[in-house]
Chain A
Amino acid sequence: MLMTDVLRHVWPKRRGIEHYMLLMGIVIVICLTIMALLAPIIAPYDPIKTYVGKPYTPPCTEHLFGTDRMGRDVFSRILWGARSALAVASLAVVIAAAIGIPLGLLSGYIGGPIDRILSLIMDSIYAFPSLIMALAVAAALNPGGATSITSAMINTSLAISVVYIPSYFRVVRATVLSVRENLYVKAAQALGADVLTILTKYVAPNSLAPAIPIISMNFADAILTASGLSFLGVGLPPYFPDWGVDLATGWRDLPNGAWWMSFFPGLMIFLATLAFMMIGDALNELLNPRRGMK
């Protein structure tokens, strides 16, 4: 019953621009997901294999997005790259939310010295420039390069997630501060519920809505940061099909006129970021409780 209410709220008869932003964002994300899932079937060439075509071939019918300096097919690499982009970004967001949200709940509800200490830690992470922070964590996790692709992806996700934990923490904590003053929380205490029950059954369900737009915005930012880390050489290894890696290796050939090697990865990063940003912005607008008053 509540689900249909939410649906009616998000997709009503009278729609504004944010409803179409949401739709467009979701469509792009679905396309990206299909790309990532079907990459092994659609991709015309092996993305890692070198010299499948003549190096520096501009876009043509055989190589839709051209080939790079080692003769690898850019189109195939783009398709496979969707996998690592989505995997790294979602893992980073999941880790950040899984740590930030519970800590925010606890800190906001319990208060006192625990709250002070946690807030201090989170604020100091937040105050640090995010890319430099992620860079430092990635460098610490990957001394001298990761041993395998999987561990490189996990380490990159971890490095990114550290940067996002404070945003979940702060938003959830702030909401809890007002939710915990509700009479129904007092009622739960009077019924004899312990702190954990009060948190999970009474406080959390009423405090998590503001974190939803952050999830999608962080997703967008995570793709950018992952690209940035790969670009700087602490993310994924250079042979691996990844938009950030390709952008990083491709831009060096720009002066030779080989624009396709960096343009297409850049375009994909732009599209994915835009899609998640649109979803995030739209949700932020649609889930705002004061919206109805306009």
Chain B
Amino acid sequence: MRPLVEVEDLKKYFPVERSFIERILSRKRRYVKAVDGITFAIRRGEVFALAGESGCGKTTTAYLIVRLLEPTSGRIVFNGRDITHEPERSLRRWYRRRVQIIFQDPYASLNPRMKVGEAIAHPLEIHGIAEGKEKKEMVLDMLRKVGLTPPELFYNKYPHELSGGQRQRVAIARALILRPELVVADEPTSALDVSIRSQILKLLLELKKELNLTYLYITHDLATAYYIADRIAVMYLGKIVELGSVEDVLENPLHPYTKALLSAIPIPDPRMSRTRRRVKIPGEPPNPINPPTGCRFHPRCPWATKLCAVEEPELREVSPGHYVACHMLK
């Protein structure tokens, strides 16, 4: 069966603002290479996680797929239809109904002047799906589904009267009321208290089952990814370094960066924590305006050789369905 979303060599470069003097001297325009050629596919009905540190381009990828940004090059194919450069007008007609996004910060993603009921009903109005009583019934039903009960109570509240977890539930309800096929969740739990996180994750999984959803789950937290995802791609500086099922990637990581990320997860038991072998990486991610030559990870990689500084490794299949971009795995 054809995957729901196919992403091919996707790139997004943001131009860097130049100062007045630079413009006069007409120096070359520079770009932040936020996403620099990534390829993956999301299968219908799965949870695909995209993991990496801040600044690795995972949120940009999310925005590209929901087309809040237009790709610089590459291809995004949704359900067999190329939407890479589809204009906003035509996106509004069909794509925006089928692909929805849940943002990271529920304090910022809800309009402070719109009541919960209005906010959730608004997508129905935009697409002319329901009106009047039917619309209200759908909203109340959705509120019940996301666990905001009694729904009549929440219907007339303003976002500032709700807690972070409740707000995120409203954002989820707003995204799902259109019955989308793909839901892009951009770190939906990272702005919430730890105690609320697992509730939201459970809710997302329940709704996925109930409404037959496919998720693209963006996260920097590998533990969350392990819990929720079927497959995972690890990104570093705009590139995918490792891709595969969560079991393969997280239980048997092959790329040194994935190993380092995994060993950075704190373990509550100090004895276990002492005995584990840790892969440490020095420094911080380099500047994406001017990424390192060859393998982007080589200045921080414990295994780096001369080859790594010259030639960029390709993403290769090392075992069925498990892809790694590293010269050391041949």
Contact = CB atoms under 8 A, between A and B. Distances in A.
Consensus secondary structure, chain B interface? loop
Interface stretch (A94-102, A199-207, A215-223): A199-207
Contacts of B25: none
B173 to A, nearest CB: 12
Contacts of A31: none
B97 A192 contact: yes
Interface in B171-194: 171, 174, 178
B110 interface: yes
A205 B113 contact: yes
A21 to B, nearest CB: 28
A186 B122 CA distance: 14
B329 interface: no
Contacts of A184: 108-112
In this complex, the member of B66, B97, B100, B122 whose beta carbon has the largest number of chain A beta carbons within 10 angstroms is B122
Given A2-B158, A184-B110, A205-B113, A192 B126 contact: yes
Contacts of B123: 191-192
Given A183-B103, A189-B68, A194 B92 contact: yes
A33 interface: no
A9 to B, nearest CB: 13
Nearest to B113: A205
In this complex, the member of A188, A191, A193, A205 whose beta carbon has the largest number of chain B beta carbons within 10 angstroms is A191
A1 B156 CA distance: 10
A192 B126 CA distance: 7
B146 to A, nearest CB: 16
B21 to A, nearest CB: 22
B101 interface: yes
A184 B92 CA distance: 17
A182 interface: yes
A197 B126 contact: yes
Given A186-B103, A190-B68, A191-B126, A201 B111 contact: yes
A2 to B, nearest CB: 7
Interface string A208-251: 00000000000000000000000000000000000000000000
Contacts of A189: 68
Interface residues of A, number: 19
A111 to B, nearest CB: 14
Contact of B174 (A1, A191, A194): A191
A201 to B, nearest CB: 7
Given A183-B108, A191-B122, A201 B103 contact: no
B76 to A, nearest CB: 15
A182 B108 contact: yes
A183 B105 contact: yes
Contacts of B158: 1-2
A191 B112 CA distance: 17
Contacts of B202: none
B265 interface: no
B166 to A, nearest CB: 16
Contact of B112 (A1, A197, A206): A206
Contacts of B96: 190-192
B127 interface: yes
B101 A190 contact: yes
Contacts of A197: 126
Contacts of B108: 182-184
A184 B106 CA distance: 9
B114 interface: yes
In this complex, the member of B110, B111, B122 whose beta carbon has the largest number of chain A beta carbons within 10 angstroms is B111
A37 interface: no
B99 to A, nearest CB: 8
A188 to B, nearest CB: 8
Contacts of A2: 113, 158
Interface string A269-294: 00000000000000000000000000
Nearest to A202: B111
B126 A193 contact: yes
Contacts of B156: 1
B12 to A, nearest CB: 16
A191 B171 CA distance: 11
A187 interface: yes
B109 to A, nearest CB: 4
Contacts of A183: 103, 105, 108-109
A201 B92 contact: no
Interface of B: 66, 68, 91-92, 96-97, 100-101, 103, 105, 108-114, 122-123, 126-127, 156, 158, 171, 174, 178
11 contacts: A1-B156, A2-B113, A183-B103, A184-B108, A187-B171, A188-B111, A190-B100, A191-B178, A193-B122, A201-B122, A206-B111
Among all A-B residue pairs, the 9 with the closest Cβ atoms: A192-B96, A183-B108, A205-B113, A183-B109, A184-B111, A192-B92, A191-B123, A190-B101, A187-B109
